[in-house]
Every structure is written in C-alpha cells, then in structure tokens.
Amino acid sequence: MKTFYRFFLLVVFLVFVTNCARTGRPEGGPKDEVAPLFVNSIPPYNTVKFDKKIIKLNFNEFVTLKELSKQLVVSPPLKNPPLITPQGSPSKIIQIQILDTLQENTTYIFNFGNAVQDNNESNILENFKYVFSTGTYIDSLMIAGSINDAILQEIPKSVNVLLYRIDTSYRDSIIYKKKPNYITNTLDTTNFKFTNLKDGKYFIVALKEEISDYIFNPKNDKIGFLTDTIHLPKDSILIKPITLFKEEQPYKFYRGREVTKGKLQFAFEGEQTDMKINVISKVPDNFKSVSKFEKDKDSLNYWFTNIEADSLNFVVSNQKLIDTITVKLRKEKRDSLTINILPKSVLHFRDTIFVESNNPIISIDTSKISLIDKDTISVNYKTLFYEKENKIGFVFEKKPSQKYIFTTFKGAFEDIFSFKNDSLNASFSTKAIDDYGRLTLNVNNIKNENIIVELLSGKNKDALVERQIMDSSKTVIFNLLDPKKYTLRVCIDSNKNNKWDTGNFLKKIFPEKIIYFKELTDFEIRANYFLEENITIE
C-alpha cells in the first residue's frame, strides 16, 4: 500500500512539473501580438535635478534589444556613448550606464526607436524613450517635419536630423566640427519629430551619414537644410520638407600609378569636365599618348608609347588649380589588344553596335570589317569614335525582323602600341515594329522654364533611355520602346546649362528641382501599345 501511495505521489509530481515547464502559448492558441509595456524606472521617468550614473528601465515581460546601434538616439548627444545592458539576451530590466558628464539645466532624451521588442514574438514597443532633466523642469516644445531626396524617388531611411541652437557662438561651419544640440532620426519613415526642446532660435540640418557621428562629411554624406531660422515655440510644424542631396566635391587630383607598361592611372575627386593632363618630361618626337576617363569611376587612364625613362612628370590642370605629378615607371609587359562586341544577340532599334577595347584604338581598316544581313547583302554603316571611352560605334539603318552578322577580321583595329586585333564576329536579330510600344507626352510648360525630360528604366531607375531638353510647351514622342517598365522625371534647369546641378551648403544653394509623376512612375509599355499622357510644369 505504501509503495502504491509513493508511486501515485510521484506521478502527480511529474505531471505538475511538466505543465509548469510549458512556457509557450498553447498549441493552436492566439498569437501574442501585444507589445511589451514599460512599467517604471529608477530614477522615475521625467525626473528633474537628475544626478545619477545608472538608470534601470523595468518592463512587464522579457525584452530584447534589436539593432540598438542603429535605433538608439541620445539627444543632446553624449561625447562618450552610454553602456546599455543586456544586449543579446532577454531581460525584464534594461540598464543604462552614463559614462559622460551631463550638461547643466538640460533635458535629455534616450530614444530607443524600435529597438525594444518582446522576446517571444518580437512585438515592438514603438518609439520608446526615457526622459530626464538636470535642471528644475522638463523642456516640452517640439518640431516635426519630413524628408525627401533631390534625385531619388524612394527616400533613404534612417536619416539623422540635427538641430543647432543659434546664439552668439553659432557659425555655419559648426556642422563640420561640432555635434548638434539636439538629434532625432527618421528610422524607417520619411518623417521626423523633436520633443522636449527649449524655446529659442534654431537651424536645422538633415544628414544621411555613412558613419553616424553627427558631423557633416561632404565626401560621404548627403545633406539637406532649411535657410529659414526656426523660432520656438512658433515654428513647431515645418511645412517645407528638407531635401537631401550630395554636394559636388572640390576638385582634387591624386598621385598616379603605373598599371601596366605604357598605362598609368590617376585618381581624382570632383568635376572632371575641364581636366587636362600634359607630360612635361622630355620625350622623343614619336611619343604618342591618349587619356580617357574610366566610365563610372573617378579615375583617368593615360596610355603612352615607348620611352626610355624611369619616371614621367605631368602637369594636371583645370579652371581652378594646377598641380604637378611624378609617376615611377617599373612595369615590363604591355597588355595586347583585346576587343568585345556589344550588344549580344538581340539588336533593338535604339541600340548601337559597339566595339569595346582595353587599349585606345588609333586606326581602323574598314576593308577588314563586314556587316551583312540575312541575305548576305552588305550593309552600309558609319563609325563613331567616343573620346571618353575605349569604344567605337557602328551606326546603320536597322530593318525590322532582320538578321545581321558583324565581323571584324584580323588587323581591322590598331591600338596606340601598334597591336592589332584577332578576328571576331557577332550575330544580331531585330524584332518587328509591332513588338515595341510608344509614349506620347504632352508637356504644358506654363512658365516656359528650361526643363530636362528624362525617360528612365531599370530596377533602380538609373538607366537613361532618352533625354529631351525644352523651354516651352511641346509634344514629345518616345518611340520604339522595348516592352517593360519605365519612369519619367523632369528637372527644372534653373541655370539653363542643360544638366542637373546639385546644391551647396555653405553657399546656401539648393539642388535643382526634380519632379516625378505618380501616373508615370513604374508604368508599363507593352508591345504594339501607344500611351499618351499630359503633364503640367508650373
């Protein structure tokens, strides 16, 4: 009997322990979608005359901190970041250890953004913040506004917005040297909000930073600003959005390097439109050189023929400066000539046949180039040399539903080193006219401004299909468009130089305005489809 009684007690105990061990929600039960709750803190929220070094935040359940380095914003900024624990493990208590000397009579905000989440379902305690003051009261004024981008239709996330108090020590150059008085962040939205501000006059700046140090680095960061002074408490809602842009970098030329024998590469920053490079070393009479900018890179390639020297001296110049550069010559092997034919396979009516080369081509023997159609009939073409790139275009009248064979026989091209190409051929086919679509755009240019109309394609809307420049109302036809999605935008070319110009913070110049249209964003052109749209530029 005693044995049975002991066995019965053991079974009851095991059942009890097993049930207690089930910490998850019952199978099939409702999912927990409730965010954790902030219970209290030591010292309490909105404490005045704050003089502690340790803060403890208590929650009603176990929480974790996700992406704390991206989410947490302390305003005003601290010289030494606070130590926040625990990170990486769940806890009902978050501890903040302040490692800095706090300013007197100042309201501090520790904004955790969306970092605080419950441990089980990752429900977010949105925009959680802890506030205290080292003075006798909590500042309570606010500023709210929004961000956009000068070029991009999709506005960058996690933009830092900085607020500088305007007093006798304020200078525009402060953004390059000193952290602001207040900071907030847009997180994953396009809006921002400052809270717990003092009354007074302020200057506002937005930064999309590569490194979030709250200091403007023009080389890496985007900036946006408002020229108008903000007066609190009057200007709490900013109607005009802050527009982000990347400044044009001051021209700077770096030391060159030898890539292969007969080829040098120079790195630079800034506008390269009027940049020139000339050798000043003594060279033989038959010395030849070619310089070309590398596409989509801040570098200049310089090819030169044989010279008996261990270095070359150059003068690099543009409208703003002159510099001298010396490059050591040590390489012993040159690159032989290689060519590539583009595009591949399908030749659209907007396409051009290109021959790309690694070395600059200085002569063409057209007798060794053949372009024939599917009936082996020779097709006439014109050649176009591209000064800025190592490529040659072959332009001809393309016919629908046709096939072409393009052949470059051995010795058709000769480069600067007298190397010649090997034979290469490529086959292309064109589509029927009905395989393409058309966009007719009626532009109502009310103020007759100089505008640049651009049709873009590609996932990031960065492939230019066609550009039209006009200064009056006009109908534009974009014909023979390949079936896919496109986006149209218009740049207000205020200075009439036929290109988009960015802004400059110190000169207080805003970037030229770019307009996107909802109905002409990611719109689809289908085969044998004719779309007509009207836009008004006011």
**479-514: pLDDT as tens digits:** 999 999 999 999 999 999 999 999 999 999 999 999
> In which residue ranges of the chain is CATH 2.60.40.10 found?
141-244
Domain with CATH 2.60.40.1120 in the chain: 436-537
Q: Classify domain 252-328 by CATH number.
A: 2.60.40
Q: CATH says 141-244 is which class?
A: mainly beta
Q: How many angstroms separate the CA atoms of 468 and 457, rounded?
A: 15
Beta pairing class for 54-65 and 141-149: unpaired
pLDDT of residue 6: 53
Structural Rg of the chain based on CA atoms? 33
Q: What per-residue confidence (pLDDT) applies to 28?
A: 53
Q: What is the pLDDT of residue 316?
A: 84
Per-residue pLDDT tens for 185-243? 998 899 999 999 999 999 999 999 999 899 999 999 999 999 999 999 999 999 999 99
Give the pLDDT of residue 118.
93
The 8 Å CB, 24+ separation contacts for 254-260 are 255/325, 255/327, 256/302, 256/314, 256/325, 256/327, 257/327, 258/327, 258/328, 258/329, 258/330, 258/331, 259/301, 259/331, 260/331, 260/333, 260/334, 260/335
pTM: 0.83
CATH topology of domain 38-133: Immunoglobulin-like (2.60.40)
Q: Kindly report, as residue ranges, where domains of CATH 2.60.40.1220 are found in the chain.
A: 38-133
- In 3-state terms, what secondary structure has residue 8? helix
Q: Tell me if 224 sits within 8 A of 242, measured CB to CB.
A: yes
Residue 252: per-residue pLDDT: 78
Find the helix or strand (DSSP H, E) in which 20 lies.
helix 2-21
Name, in order, each residue with C-beta under 8 angstroms of 39's C-beta and a sequence gap of 6 or more. 58, 59, 60
CATH superfamily of 436-537: Carboxypeptidase-like, regulatory domain (2.60.40.1120)
Q: Which ranges of the chain have pLDDT less than 70?
A: 1-30, 32, 272-273, 296
Report yes or no: 41 and 130 within 8 Å, Cβ to Cβ: yes
Q: What pLDDT sits at residue 383?
A: 96
Instruction: Report the top-level CATH class of 339-431.
Output: mainly beta
Tell me where in the chain the CATH 2.60.40.3710 domain(s) lie.
339-431
pLDDT tens digits along 279-329: 999 999 999 999 988 876 788 899 999 888 899 999 988 777 778 889 999
